[in-house]
Structure 1
């Protein structure tokens, strides 16, 4: 599930302003059933924005995309194709070029980085991590030595590619020349660019091997990388909860197992560069003086080897394998390793207030087994801390905002639990029409299997089964007579593993889904990280994925195959015999 690309000539450029206004007003859940399936995550803004504000948002979308509303004589505009690497040298810093860069900055960058370039734009208090402060000029992703300014090419690379896991998007919608113009303007916020940095150039690149990776593992221990990044590299080290950047804001140690989230690049050469240059403004130092180049290459290849192969991607179907005996109820049961997995991507919940874009859980790995009577799901996700206490304080007051402010000051706060929830439609759809992926909708209810870490830790039933008919209505626990989901969770080395098991046929069939082999059954995932301040609608969620219980192969299928082979063999023997007689 991805946001619409407004620069696509088949998107906003093809619609009139009135339609765009209606879409902003009604959002994804407000679309008519005649157009099903509508799995859009577009929020409903009719209660949160005035008509004037909605019109401003619509016109800003056209402007941001660089297109005009649909007209009979003009249905689309051309796409701006951008390269990830610069193809030409930066233009000179003439007053005219700086003026062009300033115009682009005001239009594209000011909202986050601020008018003065100090990282205090209007939306900055809602973001984690905070936008870059160009006046302080502490740049993390460089090819220059520690404490030195980045090269122009470093800045161009970041502006083009963006920074994964942050609000910094890749500005490939800008032409290469426009990106150079805005970089030239950004450099004027600080005098650090009056001198050029020294580019770090390795003597030679070391290739990966088992021996090199083993050496890197030893370097990881010796350099005490585990103090911040944890023994398994998931950012759960002993020092991680107390980390701050130079501005005093909380900062998270990178989860090295998530290659798609490594901000400076996931390849060994990118990781080597981070070890060589450090990340200015953060606790991540340069190891150029403490580790020789060979050790840094070994460490880079070891860190690269930590990246999981279970990444979220395009597949949306989970195959549940059939077992003849009991299902694995323990998350550490060795049989789970043999089950097919599905990596489910999650995003922040932005459809209803309080909207949440600083979610912690961005991927959940799901596996499933079933037998003659029940089905079991294993859900795994990275979480830097084990939060099993739940003592929530009052919810943040939004006032006119729809997103809560983000407090990055480390210190005591509410104690909130970790949790995860599986969502299923009560009735399996026959055609393409489904309940909305965000808690269903009126007339299309969903059942929710809500595992809660505090209940599990206290020895109580860990899963509460709930019921929802859209986010506009309160979520209700199902009756005690329908509570038929068992759950067990284990946290170790920055990762939760939770098993949820339920009979194939629920106790109350009109309140939950019935699992049948061979049918595609939609499911969605919701997740909360207590240490990240998540509760209620402040959560991560997925769109619909599917689970299919693989139908057992009947004995007749094997017998018919054997008979077919025998018949073919007899026919061939008869033909050979006939040819010989002739």
Structure 2
């Protein structure tokens, strides 16, 4: 049947006007494309290209449904099919911060063959009205403060903040309810993190996205509604919100020494000169309670200390503020909750169903976030597929997110400093080497963190500690939590200057139902308590140069004296 459909598609395209022609490849190229596709692509996108592969339940955003013929990232106008070059680019470099990797190891010939095969999956490639010429993307004009200011006004006038938030962190009022045309939940882009832009992080990339829109999503095209100058102003404003095309992740946090009191009620002053360290977070997928699509991808950390105390400032972006309910690092996570498309009822029998031990999704072209069909086939409904304007991310109307799960943050340290290279297991320690976990449930509005002693994810116990003071705040999509503790603690590692100490981080997003082991976490990194007096390299170098010069002078004197003595003792000529 596939070959028959392919031949019909080729025949139909051969009869189209010249402007609508597309290179569909030969049957040999299509067959080769299928072989490569089945090997590298089918696990997520499915053997039929409908986005229902074996891994779909563990993937968010859900894989592209090629049978619909709708592609998000293109150089063609809104609603049009992409060019071959558009598809080749995505296959080669992938989509940042999604499960779609780049495939540089696949040859250019085989990537082109995959493109030919993709075109057999949707009748859209037979529709002459689905084709469009690539838009013109001029060279970016010079950035200026005036352009950025105008762009900020365009951002407001076009209502961008309704989804992306006033500060661009993806925390707009409609953020919880966004879905694509298949009913899959969407999260607005965090405009302050250019390295996560799936369509590309350059100003040309951003201009292209504004001009073409993102097919199948609420992100519109401004190609015909905004003048070119306005689009570039908007590009420049968005570009100004970020701090780089690359996150610039660190492995070491330098803790600044100060002599003032550590007043955590005034963080702007306290941490004003403390160096920033940015650490990556990934989903915990090793132990039960797995998180295959974590909400947070990094934490920004600063730290200071004085002779008595140390303070850490930890910030991360979270597009919703979940400060009701509760959270706990020891909460159990049922197996069904590891599946982004599953429910408890679907997974009572874990040994049945698809690749992941759950029932595979149907072939309807994509259900909602929980694998349910959100669109009424009777038609006439609005964008959300119902008459109410759409349920929220979790399929209810109250916007309560994870059903009583709150946001939380944790800092982790070895209970004892390791004497060698071996550190405790980074997932809450192990039976041989325990960890201290400073945990903050952001629903409690407490003045102190809860300290846990961890000997593994199944062996966490609360420690009696009243030493870790905290301060918390949430502002426009960003949590800020400050921890303060004495250097010489009754429990845990005692700290002193010129010391390297392992540190790890965990973040829980209540809206994403993250609790217990279902969280974003980091491996071990280090922090270093900078000494009060920094030793300059100039002093030791000058002293070394002086001693070398002195040694050379003494050596010269010694050699000359030996030479003079030897000459005086030598017999006279003819003696």
Q: Tell me which interval the TM-score lies in, with the shorter structure as reference length.
A: 0.7 to 0.9
| Residues 404 and 126 of structure 1: CA distance in aligned 2, closer, same or farther (over 3 Å) | farther
Q: Does the 8 A contact of 1:331 with 1:499 survive in 2?
A: no
User: What are the equivalent positions in structure 2 for 1:157-306 lying under 5 Å apart?
Assistant: 157-194=89-126, 195=128, 196-202=131-137, 205-306=140-241
**Greater RCO (CA < 8 Å, at least 6 residues apart):** 2
Unmatched tracts of structure 1, length 5 or more: 1-89, 572-582
User: What are the equivalent positions in structure 2 for 1:447-486 lying under 5 Å apart?
Assistant: 447-456=436-445, 460-471=446-457, 473-479=458-464, 482-486=465-469
What is aligned with 2:500?
520
Aligned pair partner of 2:429 in 440, 447, 461: 440
Q: How far did 1:290 drift?
A: 1.5
What is aligned with 2:79?
147
Mapped partners of 1:531, 1:409: distance in 2: 8
Mapped partners of 2:253, 2:79: distance in 1: 48
What is aligned with 2:417?
428
Higher Cα Rg, which structure = 2
Aligned pair partner of 2:313 in 366, 378, 387: 378
Question: TM-score w.r.t. structure 2 length?
Answer: 0.77
Q: How far did 1:332 drift?
A: 4.0
Identify the range of structure 1 (525-534 vs 328-337) with the bigger mean alpha-carbon deviation: 328-337
Superposed CA RMSD in Å reads: 2.8
| Residues 539 and 558 of structure 1: CA distance in aligned 2, closer, same or farther (over 3 Å) | closer
| Residues 520 and 404 of structure 1: CA distance in aligned 2, closer, same or farther (over 3 Å) | farther
Cα deviation digits, residues 474-525 of structure 1 (max 9, x gap): 211112xx331111110001000100011001113xxx11111111100000
What is aligned with 1:494?
477
Mapped partners of 2:61, 2:171: distance in 1: 18
Q: How far did 1:201 drift?
A: 0.1
**Number of residue pairs matched?**
469
Identify the range of structure 1 (191-200 vs 248-257) with the bigger mean alpha-carbon deviation: 191-200
Q: Does the 8 A contact of 1:119 with 1:134 survive in 2?
A: yes
Q: How far did 1:121 drift?
A: 1.3
Mapped partners of 1:404, 1:423: distance in 2: 34
| Residues 144 and 230 of structure 1: CA distance in aligned 2, closer, same or farther (over 3 Å) | same
| Residues 465 and 331 of structure 1: CA distance in aligned 2, closer, same or farther (over 3 Å) | farther
| Residues 122 and 387 of structure 1: CA distance in aligned 2, closer, same or farther (over 3 Å) | same
Q: How far did 1:92 drift?
A: 6.2
Q: How far did 1:372 drift?
A: 1.0
Q: Does the 8 A contact of 1:118 with 1:135 survive in 2?
A: yes
What is aligned with 1:135?
67
| Residues 419 and 444 of structure 1: CA distance in aligned 2, closer, same or farther (over 3 Å) | same
Identify the range of structure 1 (242-251 vs 277-286) with the bigger mean alpha-carbon deviation: 242-251
Mapped partners of 1:168, 1:448: distance in 2: 33
Aligned pair partner of 1:321 in 236, 256, 271: 256
Mapped partners of 1:497, 1:529: distance in 2: 14
Q: How far did 1:120 drift?
A: 1.2
